[in-house]
Amino acid sequence: MGTTLLKHFPVQDLKLVYQVLHRNLKHEPELWDSKLLEQLQMELRQQAHQQGYDTSVHLEWERFLHNEPRHIHPRFKVYEGGLA
């Protein structure tokens, strides 16, 4: 199936479904091996990377899932005169 089919759905819908599935992992252990959950996570991580989130940092992944702005360390913020 790949993530191709998932590209047809709004990212907000994908985030909602992922969060519901993820929240139920401890109650439904079969979800750990679910191909759907795996593909959903892969698609969402690709979307996050395209938006500049570092999904290897759990806080960044959570920020993406909850539509929060990504964290940019003050030292890397771009100002009119260039990098600070």
Higher-confidence residue: 11 or 72?
11
> Could you report the per-residue pLDDT of 44-70, keeping only the tens digit for each?
999 999 999 999 999 999 999 999 987
Instruction: Give me the count of residues in the chain.
Output: 84
Please tell me the pTM assigned to this model.
0.77
Residue type, 45: R
- CA neighbor of 19 nearest in space, from 41, 48, 2, 34: 41
